[in-house]
Chain A
Amino acid sequence: MTGAVPLQQGMLPDTIANLLGLDAFGIAGDVVAALLGAFLIANFLLINTAFAGPWAKRKITAAFTDRIAVNRIGPFGLFVIVADAVRLLSKELIVPEGADRPAWDLGPLLIPFSALLGFAVIPMGSGLQLADPETGLAFAFAASSIASLGLIMMGYASNNKYSLLGGLRAVASNIAYEIPLIVTGVSVVLFTGTLQMSEIVAAQEATFVSIAGIAIPQWFAFVNPFAFALFVVANVAEVGRNPFDIPEAPTEIVAGYQTEYSSVYFVLIYLGEFIHIFLGGAIAATLFLGGPAGPGPAALGIVWFTAKIWAFFLLTQWLRSAVPRLRVDQFIEIGWKGMLVLSFANLVLTAVIVGVLTTL
């Protein structure tokens, strides 16, 4: 085992390797186990996205608007997932004239890729975690930020003015809201003293207060609700949902950066967007909601984790139905003049409190 990094104990690849007896094969076995683990996690997310995209989104929006939505195709209209996916994949892939070819093709690939990459370090409970590096949080933020690159590639390479506007808006919004997002995340790190995701989750297990015998855990959402609110807002902007869906803005710039994409690429973009929403939810859950923590045995962790990321998805859909969209300049202004200032104030305040607490 010279030079090889041994699989981290308790991580998903390690478990798989143990189960399948891959330990015996050295590095090759580790690689296979890691790939299998990644495959499992990716599929778990794709299944979630399949439910969210063609079906849950419609049903949720319908519930907000007094409608029923899909109910003819299969039970509760669930077969529409199959129909939508296969239909979109079987459509003609139109490549517009003048498209900047490698960039045009790479853009849609980057988006789901970056979101899935972010999930590599997320502890999903029940032992589902691919890796737990010491810089886990930084990795998650970095991975999800790669998407901006994909967005601007798509916007620029489509040879369409609406796409260009959408791509530029997407980049402007990502830059403006990434900083508050990360700075707010850092305020949690001040508490935990580590960037390692499992440690952040572990730090939230202690009891915060106990009211009438019910122990409220030390989730950072309870410890610092202000930071949680900031983080959720910045997160909604980061995934580009109402009221911050400036990059897509159907009534203004048709469909923004995805205007020219059809068929498979459209599916990839769509997948990427939804996995991004889930990734946003996952980071928020890990930092502020105790990750996979919840009542019941620890084996239920994945259930609680799924519930938390779906709660964030529900929030985005709720906002989409009820909140108007900001104008692009107001959006940037709120990002730079409001969110940034507030997030730094939060950081300083947290630092002071943590400093006082530790000196006491």
Chain B
Amino acid sequence: MSSDNRPFVTDDSQVLTDTRDARMTGEDNRFNSKLREAFGSSPFILTKFDKFMNWVRGSSMFMLQFGIACCSIEMMHTYAVKHDLDRFGAGVPRASPRQADVIIVPGTIVSKFAPRMKRVYDQMPEPKFVIGMGSCTISGGPFQEGYNVIKGAEEVIPVDIHVPGCPPRPEALVYGVAKLQERIANGESSPVTVKPYELEQFGDLSRDEIVQQLADDIDEEDLVMRYNWADSP
């Protein structure tokens, strides 16, 4: 919606190259893992190891026991007898977010709940993945017109896979989970996102324009939260 009024970085090759160069020449080794140091520069083992880790993360995941609205009924059906999501190694619901890998957002998010959902998401350990289930998590769905409804889960937390439908059938959710696993296994889903407290660690990196703009938006004197999430950046 706002692609025309926001300056996007059109050429990101520079940023990437800087980081890569810094890492390879050794002047900034924060991106280098201990494993990389241990194995030297040989790419073979690390590639295989990454692949293995991707397979691991894609093959087995604990779900967060998390229900919001209509879709959670179909989500229960997906876990249960006939559809049995556990066949894909993804059917263990954990009540505590600390032990979950995947949060399925099953339903409409309203202004009162959005901060709480954000909090639950923040409580999950990395790497974590989000499946948006149903139209409401895409755009607010049938309730988009409502004064209290947030227009999609992505206003609050990053979503990896959207499963459309109102509600999606269990088969659709199974397909969504399988797709997510496929993406993770292929390394297409980013395994780790940088957390706010880690930003400090990377503070001296050159800021690109988006980060700069977002940083400028924040009024540090009086942080403002909006209920009208449609206009939020």
| Residue pair A54, B60 in contact (C-beta under 8 Å) | yes
Interface 1/0 per residue, B28-56 and A, CB below 8 Å:
00000000000000000000000011011
In the complex, residue of chain B having the shortest beta-carbon distance to the beta carbon of A253 = B95
Nearest-neighbour CB distance to chain B for A45, whole angstroms, equals 22
- A225→B88 CA distance, assembly (Å): 43
- A138→B35 CA distance, assembly (Å): 45
| Residue pair A254, B96 in contact (C-beta under 8 Å) | yes
- A263→B96 CA distance, assembly (Å): 12
| Residue pair A84, B60 in contact (C-beta under 8 Å) | yes
Nearest-neighbour CB distance to chain B for A258, whole angstroms, equals 7
Grouping DSSP codes into helix (H, G, I), strand (E, B) and loop, the A interface class, with mixed when no group exceeds half, is loop
In the complex, residue of chain A having the shortest beta-carbon distance to the beta carbon of B192 = A92
Interface 1/0 per residue, A82-96 and B, CB below 8 Å:
111011001111100
| Residue pair A73, B86 in contact (C-beta under 8 Å) | no
Enumerate B183-226 residues with CB–CB distance to A below 8 Å: none
B92 at the interface (CB under 8 A from A): yes
Interface 1/0 per residue, B45-86 and A, CB below 8 Å:
000000011011101110001000000000000001100101
Interface 1/0 per residue, A305-338 and B, CB below 8 Å:
0000000000000000000000000000000000
| Residue pair A80, B81 in contact (C-beta under 8 Å) | no
Q: Which of A68, A87, A250, A266 contacts B60 (CB 8 A)?
A: A87
| Residue pair A66, B53 in contact (C-beta under 8 Å) | no
B89 at the interface (CB under 8 A from A): yes
B125 at the interface (CB under 8 A from A): yes
| Residue pair A70, B87 in contact (C-beta under 8 Å) | yes
Chain A residue numbers with a CB within 8 Å of B53 are: 86, 90
Give the A-B contact count at a CB cut-off of 8 A: 91
| Residue pair A263, B95 in contact (C-beta under 8 Å) | no
Chain A residue numbers with a CB within 8 Å of B92 are: 58
Nearest-neighbour CB distance to chain A for B168, whole angstroms, equals 20
- A94→B125 CA distance, assembly (Å): 7
User: A67-B86, A68-B84 in contact; A80/B98 too (CB < 8 A)?
Assistant: no
B115 at the interface (CB under 8 A from A): no
Interface 1/0 per residue, A78-118 and B, CB below 8 Å:
01101110110011111000000000000000000000000
Interface 1/0 per residue, A7-45 and B, CB below 8 Å:
000000000000000000000000000000000000000
| Residue pair A258, B96 in contact (C-beta under 8 Å) | yes
Of the candidates B55, B86, B94, the one having the most CB atoms from chain A within 10 angstroms of its own CB is: B86
| Residue pair B99, A255 in contact (C-beta under 8 Å) | yes
Q: Which of A77, A79, A92 contacts B125 (CB 8 A)?
A: A92
Enumerate B118-162 residues with CB–CB distance to A below 8 Å: 123, 125-127
- A6→B35 CA distance, assembly (Å): 44
| Residue pair A62, B96 in contact (C-beta under 8 Å) | no
B91 at the interface (CB under 8 A from A): yes
Chain B residue numbers with a CB within 8 Å of A258 are: 96, 99
- A83→B98 CA distance, assembly (Å): 18
Interface size class of B (residues with CB under 8 A): 20 to 34
- A258→B126 CA distance, assembly (Å): 18
A259 at the interface (CB under 8 A from B): yes
Chain A residue numbers with a CB within 8 Å of B123 are: 94
- A90→B123 CA distance, assembly (Å): 16
User: A70-B87, A77-B89 in contact; A87/B125 too (CB < 8 A)?
Assistant: no
Chain A residue numbers with a CB within 8 Å of B57 are: 87, 90
| Residue pair A262, B99 in contact (C-beta under 8 Å) | yes
- A262→B126 CA distance, assembly (Å): 10
Q: Which of B65, B84, B89, B94 contacts A73 (CB 8 A)?
A: B89
- A266→B62 CA distance, assembly (Å): 13
Chain A residue numbers with a CB within 8 Å of B84 are: 62, 67-69
| Residue pair A72, B127 in contact (C-beta under 8 Å) | no
User: A72-B89, A91-B126 in contact; A254/B95 too (CB < 8 A)?
Assistant: yes
In the complex, residue of chain B having the shortest beta-carbon distance to the beta carbon of A87 = B56
Enumerate A250-279 residues with CB–CB distance to B below 8 Å: 250-251, 254-255, 258-263, 266
A65 at the interface (CB under 8 A from B): yes
Nearest-neighbour CB distance to chain A for B196, whole angstroms, equals 14
Chain A residue numbers with a CB within 8 Å of B91 are: 58, 69
Report which A residues bind B (CB closer than 8 A): 54, 58, 62, 65-73, 77, 79-80, 82-84, 86-87, 90-94, 250-251, 254-255, 258-263, 266
Report which B residues bind A (CB closer than 8 A): 52-53, 55-57, 59-61, 65, 80-81, 84, 86-89, 91-92, 94-96, 98-99, 101, 123, 125-127
Pairs across A and B, CB under 8 Å, 11 listed: A67-B84, A70-B89, A80-B89, A87-B60, A92-B127, A94-B123, A250-B95, A255-B94, A261-B98, A262-B99, A263-B125
14 more contacts with CB within 8 A, not counting A70-B87, A255-B99, are A68-B84, A69-B86, A72-B87, A73-B89, A80-B59, A82-B56, A83-B55, A83-B60, A84-B89, A86-B52, A87-B59, A92-B125, A255-B95, A262-B98
